[in-house]
Amino acid sequence: MSNNNYTIEELREILFQKIDRLIEIEPYWSKCMRCQHKGKCCIKADISIRKDEWKIIKEYIQNFNESDKSVLRHNIKHHIFCPFRASDKCLIHEVRPLNCIWTPFQVVQNIQTNDLTFYIPYLSCKYFRKTIKKYPKINDEFVKLRIGNKECYYLFLNDIYIEYINNPEQHVNNLSNLITQIPPLIY
């Protein structure tokens, strides 16, 4: 996949298809499709955003109603880590970046060291990052990991992740670096 230079729309479609297949084999993740914790896994996440995603998000927020603009202004003023996170919803859920979509489901393997990185969820949807050093090379779409006394399938995401991060014409920024671009769009 990494040599194809997929558009953001194509990457989104591929990711949603992979998540659908993951949920078929691991029902645990279906809870994320109807989040009861108001996006708790998004708190304090400084996500990566590609140029093409940022363009779509900027266009989207220009059409916010006054209530959503007010929430966004408040969040920026009070340095809320993700300014798009309202108390009960994601303000840009329809156009959220791929990084937001794959957050709880993914496993990524470092191609140099074979270290495997993923997030371990707890019942309250509090996550913490875990790395397993020198994990055997993965060639499957899903990875079954044992976390304590529970086994859980994750989505092996190297193909999408590498395409997302290394696409040469799409410089990736962190949300925290882009926040200053938002006020002219909402005032």
- 99-120 tens-digit pLDDT: 888 877 888 899 899 999 888 8
| pLDDT confidence of residue 2 | 47
Q: How confident is the model at residue 123 (pLDDT cuts 50, 70, 90)?
A: low
How much is the pTM? Answer: 0.82
Say yes or no to pLDDT of 121 above 50.
Answer: yes
Q: Percent of the chain scored above 70 by pLDDT?
A: 90
Question: How does strand 172-174 pair with strand 150-156?
Answer: unpaired
Give every CB contact of residue 85 below 8 A, 6+ residues apart in sequence.
Answer: 39, 42, 43, 75, 91
Using DSSP, how many helices (H) and how many strands (E) does the chain show? 8, 7
Q: How confident is the model at residue 37 (pLDDT cuts 50, 70, 90)?
A: low
Collapsed DSSP state (helix, strand, coil) of residue 96: coil
- C-alpha distances in angstroms, 7 versus 12, 38, 56? 9, 29, 12
